[in-house]
Chains A and B, each alone.
Chain A
Amino acid sequence: MDNRRGLLKRSAGVGAASIGLLAGINKASAADAGKPIPVGSALPLSGIAAADGVEYRNGLTLAAEEINAAGGILGRPIQLHIEDTGNMGPVLTTQAMQRLIDRYNVPAIINGYNDATNMAEMDTAADADIIFSHYNTLLSANTKFNSNPKKYYGCFQGCPPEYYYGVGLLVYLKTLMDEKRWTPANRKIAIIPSSVEYAIVIANAIRDKAKDFGWEVSLFETVPFPNNQWGPTLAKIRQDTPGVIAVTHPLPQDLAQFALQFTPQPTNSLLYMQYGPSLPAFRQIGGKATTGVIYSTLIGCVPDEFSEQFRHDYTQKFGPNSTYLTGSQTYDALWKWALSAAIAGGPGEPYQKAQAQKIAQVMRQLVYRGTSGTSRVDPDGQSAYCYPTQTPDPSLGMPHQFLQVQDATKTPALIAPDLYAQAKFVTPPWMS
């Protein structure tokens, strides 16, 4: 009975469309049935990003199990091969990817993120004519793709680039004001990036577009990475109170410290952070001080009915402390590649350019609804479209999710886009 209930639930959830589609394709072909398809992933399983690396591995593991249970790709099961990229960077990451190609003959590499690689992974993938999907969330990936689309045809960024964090914030603030849900104390915005490419690109996007949305940048303060003593920066903010404080530094523990050091002597400002507060450490360390903080993520499991089964399965399999928000990224990526490979007639092998091009073409055409919303490839850079900043149609773009910590002891509430929202914006306690 439980199994039947589970099956019925699944049929209404994320796997339904994917499993159904894959099963249909599998009926049509059984060539090479049973021969495993090696799929690679180069993840930071040790070193500073290991926590995320483990979640990315979890996402791949769950997706591979589901795909194999549905019959694999044209009757062939997926066999995962995962290499550790340690503290990442271009050398460790590209070496790990090259090992996957040379040792295991992988036709596809599905990564999470690897920091500070200068997108050198794209060259490794392009030289071997394999499909490469990643979540580095970098505008530089789009720029590199656009520099030579014929070479990098098989490289896909599974999410929108970080640039849209910046523009998306300004769009969201405008929505809040237009709908009279919030009136800023003034039209000044303080922007606090840290000295990493990711944070700076977001901060620059806010700074460059601020005027168009009627904002004046009162402070642009770059802090070191990492940074946990915010005293001098907060002193500057308090000297010239802004209507909005946008901290684009990504580390959750540092952002929690910001909240802890800000709230004893707050200013009448909306406090926005990006991505970092999505991770449980933010509320665990910051506690009550995090209540009222707004943050957003361009990529991550939407907490809706569609992803319910995935969230349940993930937590059951990997424990209550696992973070499905991160694991959902590689989960979706493997599913999308598997469907595309099946539609294209098979996964191919490294250096089989014609087959890799067929799969890449399907990936560009396939609009895939995964746990993180809709994944549709933007031809300008080959990353995912962002909704609502890039496209007004939610069925054609990945939602830029805005969340608010409304009770530090509970999961943050999704407050935008409205179509997905579970709660309304609440004025932070230090402002009321």
Chain B
Amino acid sequence: MLDTVVTVLTTGLTNGALYALATIGLSLVWGSMGMFNMAHGAMLALGGYLTFTVCTQLGLPLPVAVIAAVAGGALFGVLLYLVVVQRLLARSTEHFETSVMIATAGISIALEEALLVAFGGQPLKQPFTVSGNLHLGQSVVPLLDLADVVIALIVMGLTYWFLSGTKMGRAIRATAQNRDAAVLMGVPVQRIFLQALAISGALAGICGVLMSSVTQLTPWFGDDPMLKAFIMCVVAGLGNLPGAIAASFCLAIIEAAVEFLAGARWGFPALLFIVIAILIWRPAGLFGRSQIRRL
């Protein structure tokens, strides 16, 4: 019985940590800009492939490859802002939320197809890995899962420190709370948007490395985590970072438990059922604040 509990908890906590990392990248951009970045899944894949390229193909040390994934993700976020988001914002802020969603969906397809052309469609092995297992009585916990959880927690901690303890982070939070008030207080909102997308890209980069270490590298491997990250965001309340992290861990453990108790195919439907129930009960999410929009 104990080994079953350990197995289910290991799955839940590993998935939870990875979902949380994907979720905060998505939630950060939504909270500060009102932008649902449909290319976030493809950015996870970009991070994974950058590590693969730098480590396996260029032969550089793994830490350099991981840094390359973070830097590459941040750079892609910057380019995304400069080439697409900035122009959409300049044209129409009224329809920005819709137009940016469509634009990033297109970018997602283009990026995934570019990865397909560059690397082919056969799954590749992510060089970031940790071999060995931790034996807890009869139970076995893969060290790779533990490493992923620890790294994800460290990255989340750094993100929390950055947002709460630095001037740039406070400016991002101020913009997220009230964009108009932030502008009136002298916060350079355009620059904040750029920074938010760069940070989100960097988070996607490291998340892509960790995620592909327990799955595989294909151009589309980020699509499924992005869908689940979106669910976590909605459950927590779009734009609420601590809530998103808590929701990610809770839902991932529930998903793993449902998969064991009711069958593996019921895990994802259970998540969807929870989302629907929460949206009926609390339309703004568990931790979100309701907004009134005058039409």
Contacts and interface: CB of A to CB of B under 8 A. Distances in A.
B122 A281 contact: yes
Contact of A264 (B133, B260, B263): B133
B220 A279 contact: no
Interface in B140-176: 140, 142
Nearest to B122: A51
Contacts of A52: 121
Interface residues of B, number: 35
A231 B10 contact: yes
Main secondary structure, interface of A, reads helix
A44 to B, nearest CB: 9
A341 to B, nearest CB: 32
A284 B127 CA distance: 11
A224 B228 CA distance: 14
B232 to A, nearest CB: 16
Nearest to B263: A221
Contact of A232 (B8, B113, B125, B218): B8
Interface stretch (B89-97, B99-107, B264-272): B264-272
Contact of A229 (B11, B113, B116, B120): B11
A285 B140 contact: no
A46 B8 contact: no
A161 B204 CA distance: 41
Contacts of B180: none
A284 B122 CA distance: 11
B264 A234 contact: no
A261 B124 CA distance: 18
Given A48-B220, A232-B7, A234-B7, A281 B215 contact: no
Interface string A208-242: 00000000000001111011110111111011000
Contacts of B3: 235, 238, 265
Given A257-B215, A261-B142, A285-B216, A49 B264 contact: no
Contacts of B257: 232
B192 interface: no
A257 B214 CA distance: 8
A284 B260 contact: no
A195 interface: yes
B123 interface: yes
B267 A54 contact: no
B4 A224 contact: no
B256 interface: yes
A227 B120 CA distance: 21
A252 B260 CA distance: 23
A231 B11 contact: yes
A50 interface: yes
A238 B220 contact: no
B150 to A, nearest CB: 18
Contacts of B218: 48, 253
Given A226-B224, A257-B216, A281-B216, A233 B123 contact: no
A195 to B, nearest CB: 6
B15 to A, nearest CB: 6
Interface in B174-203: none
B214 A227 contact: no
> Which of B116, B123, B267 gathers most chain A CB within 10 Å?
B123
Contacts of A195: 265
A50 B116 contact: yes
Contacts of A251: 123
A46 B116 contact: yes
Contact of A54 (B15, B121, B256): B121
A280 to B, nearest CB: 7
A234 B141 CA distance: 13
B153 to A, nearest CB: 19
Interface in B13-33: 14-15
Interface in A30-49: 46-49
A48 B267 CA distance: 23
Given A195-B265, A221-B264, A257-B215, A231 B121 contact: no
Contact of B121 (A51, A221, A223, A257): A51
B124 A264 contact: no
Contacts of A239: 4
A384 interface: no
A51 B8 contact: no
Interface in A162-200: 195
B10 A51 contact: no
A261 B140 CA distance: 10
A257 B218 CA distance: 14
17 contacts: A46-B116, A48-B121, A222-B265, A229-B214, A229-B256, A231-B10, A232-B259, A233-B259, A257-B214, A257-B216, A265-B3, A265-B139, A279-B122, A280-B122, A281-B122, A284-B123, A321-B120
Q: Would you list the 9 A-B pairs with minimal beta carbon distance, nearest first?
A: A231-B11, A51-B121, A253-B216, A253-B123, A232-B259, A232-B260, A50-B121, A223-B264, A281-B123
